[in-house]
Chains A and B, each alone.
Chain A
Amino acid sequence: MTNKSEIERHVMAVLVDNEPGVLARVVGLFSGRGYNIESLTVATVSEDESASRINLVTSGTPMIIEQIKAQLERLVPIREVYDLTEEGPHVEHELALVKIINAGAERREALRIADIFRARVVDTAVDSFVFSLTGSPEKIESFLELMRNLGDVEIARSGVVAIMRGEKRKQDA
């Protein structure tokens, strides 16, 4: 690569035909060509279930980002690739389920912090809580950092889903 410019993080929404193997094609493309995947989620989004939306976060130089989009667009079942980072203001959300195992003061402190972050308690046992939290990846990150100080944690994160602000739609179904 001649272009040694800065690494950028990009959030993309990829609309694909909902058929077997699409995800493997996308993931195979990233691993085969050495691109990064920071997170990836997929679910059907059209009423007739014919289309799925892959939300992915990747990083690379501007030239690599351009390549990623061009390579994705080459895949036959891919309908549309939207680079939300480039297109403008968008909302990024992630869901995290966090189990924390602790007792005493730390247990109370965990509950207090959860309250500040508006995390909901979705399960309680004598020595553990499971919190559910949604928000930007940064918010989740800071929550996790605090929780890690308060006990043993287990974390399940959804990865980023994102959507453009305003009335423009990125989907025809």
Chain B
Amino acid sequence: MSGIRTSGAEMVIKALADQGVEVIFGYPGGAVLPLYDAIFKQNRVRHVLVRHEQGAVHMAEGYARSTGKIGVVLVTSGPGATNAVTGLTDALMDSVPLVCLTGQVPTHLIGNDAFQEADTTGITRPCTKHNYLVKDVDDLSGVMHEAFYVASSGRPGPVVIDLPKDVQFAEGDYFGPDEVTHRHYLPQTVGDPARIAEAVDLIAGAKKPIFYIGGGCINAGTEACEAVSELVRMTGYPATTTLMGLGAIPSSSPQWLGMLGMHGTYEANLAMHGCDVMVAIGARFDDRVTGRLDAFSPDSKKIHIDIDPSSINKNVAVDVPIVGDVGEVVGQILESWKNKDPQIDGKAQDKWWGQIDEWRGVDCLRYEQGQAPTDTIKPQYAIERLYELTKDQEAFITTEVGQHQMWAAQFYKFEKPNHWMTSGGLGTMGYGLPAAVGVQVGNPDSLVVDIAGEGSTMMNIQELGTIAQYNLPVKIFIINNEWLGMVRQWQELLHGGRYAESYSAGLPDFIKLAESYGMTGLRATQPDQVDDVIKQMLDTPGPVIVDMVVSKEENCFPMIPGGAAHNEILLGVNDRKEQTQSEDGMVLV
């Protein structure tokens, strides 16, 4: 077979186009000039110019998570590549499929401390699913196509391809995706039938069951989420979702108990603690979810469905591990269920729901919003109103990291997967703004809101330039409490109120900042202005920055302090069961 004779750089762009890539996020530099030249000469692949390489990676993440496609990034060698590292780590932790192309010094200079040389494959080895250094142009098409396969198959993740400049210039033969064979990396997608049967029996016989649904369901796709929703509906059992799993099943379902974990609902956490059968689907028993491990759901049999065998039995020993794709496995469970038509213990279910309703009665997300002009806006209220005023349209929400992120998770409700983009695993401040850009690029006609903290907003504020350049109608909804609120909360609760360096000093005037970029800036300082400002934001066709000036010292509850068990959940400041946290707990992040 003979390929098309062309330069390495052209090959890369051809491969992108052949992989169905429509847009890439990037920033030029010396080591990628041939690639930019190749981009210039074609119009199949669009390029979005970012302001910082970290922004490019988060944009690609937002794009990937909202569209289900692979996000693509292009950065130069050295500082370009190192700037991308935070984004790559974020994508690895949250299983986002990305391909990141990095320029590299020419092969003969590698290892010589050449100008803008960094050991990119060395640096990114632990923060990518896989990476490549292409030293021979003849390997290039194979590597490009394999990279797309690796990024998106099994548990998705970021892949880096390091491209020395001489390889970009070199001539070689290009082969399309169907003309290259790449390796044998075959994730197991179908579940073991014996395990499926075991799971069905266990689920059917449960007296106090719960579904624990994670971001893996969303990665498995819309159909997989529908299958999971059907399983939940069919059994009538309660279900909780992780931060990453929000939207996997409709929030309007009466069976949904809300999010679980450190800032999850009282009912979700107590149901996890007290259940007798737990069905974990595409969730990874993260420490933010489990709390103290030796007290985690002590009396339950656990079924765990995951595409990644290394997620199973990592933190928590499970009774029925099922390796496979969520869609496939849940499909198998549904089929087996329909064949067996098992009898559920209705009486036990009534009792269990009675207990859950009691927990729900605690109304753990309750807050008080005074409506006088002198009252301050509660952050919860601002987000709840945002939800109410946007729920009837297709809205995508990204967040930064902090209290506002948790309130967004608690108060914004999702009916569908892929509409909620947040940095869960890495908790990267500065994620939300660029991620919103990527979401907007992938969904040009939809509403995209970054629910932000004023602190996090400053971390990738330079991407306002990208928003301005492409006139992307992104709405940046800043919950401005003038504090690094989540840090302040921990200092209040765990460090004796010594607020070291957690005040957001030196903030810009966000309205003037917006205006300086030619955007609209809006501000609300009183509760009765909230609706008006949100409506104005929605009525503005272009980009908007909203400065929601909220109560400075509101804390985010419920809260399971680090190292505590689910049933030690705190509902408010005055609910401190012990005045001090255990020493073991203090060391936890």
A73 on interface, CB distance cutoff 8 Å:
yes
**Is the interface on chain A under 10, 10 to 19, 20 to 34, or 35 or more residues?**
20 to 34
Pair B317/A2 contact, Cβ less than 8 Å: yes
Contact of B317 among A3, A75, A79 (CB under 8 A): A3
Q: Does B108 contact A (CB under 8 A)?
A: no
Q: A2 near B126 (CB under 8 angstroms)? A: no
B125 near A28: Cβ-Cβ < 8 Å: yes
Question: A87 CB to closest chain B CB, in angstroms?
Answer: 18
Closest to B157 in A: A74
Interface size class of B (residues with CB under 8 A): 20 to 34
The reply on B454 being an interface residue by CB < 8 A is no
Question: Could you say which of B122, B183, B293 contacts A76, with CB atoms under 8 Å apart?
Answer: B183
CA distance A28 to B184 in the complex (A): 23
A32-B126, A63-B317 in contact; A20/B133 too (CB < 8 A)? Answer: yes
Is B515 engaged at the interface, CB distance under 8 Å to the other chain? no
Chain A contacts for B125, CB-based, 8 A:
21, 24-25, 28
CA distance A17 to B183 in the complex (A): 10
Q: Please tell me if B314 contacts chain A, counting CB pairs below 8 Å.
A: yes
Q: Give 1 or 0 for each of B294-335: 1 = CB within 8 Å of chain A CB.
A: 101000000000001110111111000000000000000000
CB neighbours (8 Å) of A141 from chain B are: none
Residue of B121, B183, B184, B296 touching A21 (CB-CB under 8 A):
B121
Work out how many contacts link A and B, with CB atoms closer than 8 A: 43
Q: Mark A56-85, 1 if CB is under 8 A from B, else 0.
A: 000000010011001101111001000000
Chain B positions 171-191 with a Cβ under 8 Å from a chain A Cβ: 183-185
Is B195's beta carbon under 8 Å from chain A? no
Of all chain B residues, the one with the shortest Cβ separation from A74 is B310
Any A CB within 8 A of the CB of B129: yes
Chain A residues with CB under 8 A of B308: 70, 74
A139 to chain B, nearest CB (A): 35
Chain A CB within 8 A of B248 CB: no
In the complex, the answer to whether A28 meets B126 with C-beta atoms within 8 Å is yes
Instruction: Enumerate chain B residues within 8 angstroms of A20, measured Cβ to Cβ.
Output: 133
A interface with B by C-beta (< 8 Å): 1-3, 17, 20-21, 24-25, 28, 32, 63, 66-67, 70-71, 73-76, 79
- Provide 28 A-B residue pairs closer than 8 Å at the C-beta atoms, listed in order of the A residue: A1-B315, A2-B294, A2-B296, A2-B315, A2-B317, A3-B317, A17-B183, A20-B133, A21-B121, A21-B125, A21-B133, A24-B122, A24-B125, A25-B125, A28-B126, A32-B126, A63-B313, A67-B313, A67-B314, A70-B308, A70-B312, A71-B310, A74-B308, A74-B309, A75-B130, A76-B129, A76-B130, A76-B183
Closest 10 CB pairs between A and B? A70-B310, A76-B130, A70-B309, A71-B310, A32-B126, A2-B293, A76-B185, A74-B310, A28-B125, A2-B294
